[in-house]
Structures are given as C-alpha cells and as structure tokens.
Structure 1
Amino acid sequence: MNHIKDNLAQVELQINQACEQAGREQTTVQLLAVSKTKPAEQVEQAYHAGQRAFGENYLQEAVEKIQQLTHLDDLIWHFIGPIQSNKTRQIAQHFDWVQSVDRAKIITRLNEQRAEHNNPLNICLQVNISGEESKSGIQVNELAQLAQLVHESPHLTLRGLMAIPEKGNAEQSFSQMQQLFEQLQAQYSSVDTLSMGMSDDLAQAINNGSTMVRIGTAIFGARQ
C-alpha cells in the first residue's frame, strides 16, 4: 500500500513543480493513473491514497477490474487503448471517458450504444500528431469533421484531444497539439482536456498546455 501512496505523492509533486515552472495553477493539470496490467487490488490501493481517475488499454482486463471495484462508486474510468469496432458496446457500457477515438464509425457506434440513463460519454479525439504508421489516431485534416460529429451526437460530449508524440520529437508535437486544442476550444464550449505527457515528458507537456498527464509505471511499478 505504502509504495503506491508514496509514488502517487511523488508524481503529484512532479506535476506541481512542472506547473510552477510553466506559470500555471496546480489545479489545471489532472493525473490519470494508467492501471493496465495491474490488479484491481492495486487500483483500490491508489483509490485509498486519493486517486480517482484510472486509464485502461485492454478491454477484457479492464471490464473485469471495473466489475470487481463497483463498491468504489466514484471511480472514473478512461479507455485509452486502440478501439476495435466490435468492442464499442462494452466500452460504451463500462467507461466514463474514451480518449482514443480515431474514426467516424467508432463515434457513431459509441453514441448508439451508450445507454439513455447514463451520462454522456466523454470523448477525446486521438491525434497522430507525428504521423507515425505504428500509432493510432486521426490526421490533423480530419479533426474538424470528427469533432463536429462528436458534438452532434446526443450521447457523447466532446472534451478534447489526446496524443502520444514521437519519442525524441516531443516538443514540436506538443506545441502543435496545444495550437489544435486552443482552436477546438474556441469552437466548442465543452472542450477542456488536452491529454498528453507521460513519465518521461510530463514537464514538457505541461509547459505546452497539457491538462491531463497519463502515468503508469511511476505509480504502480514496472508492467508485468
């Protein structure tokens, strides 16, 4: 228990220091604890240390954890992995946020499959900002059309953008993402989230306007 609590405190300290260096309020950056491959017990330990938002990449593993932890009713679950169209129903049923939306078909299916009685599903469009073939995400020229589609979907709320920049070229990518985010904010009042930055480039991301950093290993230890 203590090592997760201590690790969370250390990451929060790093976020606070990065905010200070960037001249930003500490409350403007949220920590998403990436709990993929980690057992439900460790998520619960992080919860009792004050963490509420958790990111998962693998659907079946995530759904099992979500079902095991239903007694913690204020957990916020983010799906951050690649989305196969045959998996959208479960994502729409179990998650609060989807950060890895990258095509119109996925938007349509999530909207249709989100239950009427649930709050709208929070959506971030994933941008392949460095144009890497190995990465998911939309091209910049697709952003306007897909943002409009999310905005017009009654069971979805457009919250912002997510990106995983190319290693070694993060500064330029972060800067471009900040520009895209500010343009989107000017168009849609619901947009408030720029999800970028991980353990290695957290400070750089925050300096370029990130509002949510995704941290896994530094909290939970190396992946199994």
Structure 2
Amino acid sequence: MDAVPMTLAERLSAIDRSIADAARDAGRDPSEITRIVVTKFHPASLVRELHALGVREVGENRQQELSAKSAELADLTDLHWHFIGQAQTNKAGAVRRAARVVHSVDRKKLADSLDRAAFDDSILDVLIQVNLTDDPGRGGIVSAELETFAEYILDLPTLALKGIMAVAPLDEEPARAFSRLRGYAERLQGLAPEASWISAGMTGDFAEAINAGATHLRIGSAITGPRPAQG
C-alpha cells in the first residue's frame, strides 16, 4: 500500500522537530534558530495556509514573486518577507518595498541601490553573502573582502548589517563549508558585534548548519512539497 502523503501541517511539524533535535544535539537552544519557509514557485494561497499554521518568516528567491505575493498578502501584517536570491540593482526598489530582510548583499552597487531605495524612515536589515566555492560566477563576496565590505555597509544610513549568509557548495561536505562560514561570521562580529546572524542551511544540510552556529535556516520543499510545474 502506498504511503499517504503528508499534509502541509505534518511536513512543517516534522521539520520543526528535526530542527529542534539538531539544535539539542549541538548543545543549542532551539529557540535561538529562525526557520524561514522558502515558497519559490508556490502560490500566495500556500503562504496564507502557512501563516494560519503559525509561520511568520517566509523567503523568496525572485523579486517578481516577492513583490506579487507580498502585495496579495498585504493583510497579513505580521508576515516577514526575506529576499534570499540574487538581486539586480535595478530591482532594488521593488525588493526593498516588499522585503524586511535581504540575505544576499554581495556588491557595493547593490548595497548602494538598496540604500537609495529607502522610501520612508525605515531601516532595512541586510546580510552579506559570502561565496564558499572557488567559482567567481557564484553569488557572494570572496572572504578576503569581508571586513572592507562590512565597513562599507555600516556607513550606509538606511541599512542595518545583521550578519552573514552562504550556500554550501555541492562538491564539499556541508560541515566543512559551514565551519569555514562560522569563522567568517566570527570575523564579522569582531568588526560589528551586533551582526550575529548566520543564514545557512537548507533541507539537506540544516543539521550541519545548526552545528556550525546557524541562526536562520532556509527550508523549502521539505515543508511546501514539490514545486508546481513551470510552463
């Protein structure tokens, strides 16, 4: 007999139990960890279902989806949108209007564009994305630029530097890559003690990320289910 598919609520609960178990195994308090549900390609209606289940932190990879969903769900005023994809400078205004946090700031032009896009007296939380691979085509700064880039962001009046973000390479053990990221995070906190967030870990490697000190996890299909087919 085929297994009965899990419901959205069951998938969410299962992931949260796994996160809590991984935190305890690492000697950490599960309450220190923020679970962000990534809803790429899923409709706004799924986000509304997640909100009804208690989800308040939601992530998007693409500006168009971020803008559309946040507008459709504007009545959910306690929903926090995280932008986690590669942003184009000409889309910085749209990203800023929709997102509370941008995880993927990796160049001065983008930081400048986000700062100039301020539309009121609000402060935008941002994280520096670091490239953990040897491929310069991947998103993120090289680690040697970390302090210089952090100082640059700290001088921008409408951005608040909250921490660091990275994606584990496909060809390396996640634990090793995240250990390196932990070292970069410590360097950043040496310069900006308040920049304590570490955004790392997805469905397949969040336990390793938690063990390395991740504070924010980006979990997608393990909670949302398979992405709808794209036309």
* Band the TM-score falls in, shorter-chain normalisation: over 0.9
In the TM superposition, residue 184 of structure 1 has moved relative to its aligned partner by 1.2
Q: Distance between the aligned counterparts of 1:61 and 1:192, measured in 2? A: 28
1:8 paired to 2:12: yes
Provide TM-score, normalisation by structure 2: 0.93
In the TM superposition, residue 93 of structure 1 has moved relative to its aligned partner by 1.5
SS in 2 for 1:205: helix
Contact 2:102 2:127 in 1 (8 A): yes
Q: Distance between the aligned counterparts of 1:196 and 1:134, measured in 2? A: 19
Q: Distance between the aligned counterparts of 1:209 and 1:166, measured in 2? A: 18
Contact 2:129 2:141 in 1 (8 A): yes
In the TM superposition, residue 134 of structure 1 has moved relative to its aligned partner by 4.5
SS in 1 for 2:7: helix
1:106 paired to 2:110: yes
Query: Residue 210 of structure 2: which of 196, 206, 210 is its match?
Result: 206
Question: Match for residue 153 of structure 1?
Answer: 156
Contact 2:66 2:95 in 1 (8 A): no
Question: Match for residue 227 of structure 2?
Answer: 223
Q: Distance between the aligned counterparts of 2:167 and 2:134, measured in 1? A: 11
SS in 1 for 2:149: helix
What is the correspondence of 1:21-40 to structure 2 with a 5 Å cutoff?
Answer: 21-40=25-44
In the TM superposition, residue 168 of structure 1 has moved relative to its aligned partner by 4.1
Q: Give the partner amino acid of 1:173.
A: A
Provide TM-score, normalisation by structure 1: 0.95
In the TM superposition, residue 117 of structure 1 has moved relative to its aligned partner by 2.9
SS in 2 for 1:166: coil
Deviations 1:18-43 (A, max 9, x none): 00110001111110100111101100
Q: Distance between the aligned counterparts of 2:17 and 2:74, measured in 1? A: 29
Query: Residue 178 of structure 2: which of 174, 180, 186 is its match?
Result: 174
Q: Distance between the aligned counterparts of 1:29 and 1:200, measured in 2? A: 17
TM-aligned CA distance change 1:105 to 1:134, over 3 Å: closer
SS in 2 for 1:200: coil
Question: Match for residue 145 of structure 2?
Answer: 142
Give the total of aligned pairs: 222
SS in 1 for 2:96: helix
Runs of 4+ in 1 over 3 A off after TM superposition: none
Q: Distance between the aligned counterparts of 1:114 and 1:4, measured in 2? A: 36
Q: Distance between the aligned counterparts of 1:72 and 1:7, measured in 2? A: 22
In the TM superposition, residue 79 of structure 1 has moved relative to its aligned partner by 0.6
* Identity %, equivalent residues: 34
Contact 1:199 1:218 in 2 (8 A): yes
1:19 paired to 2:19: no
1:75 paired to 2:79: yes
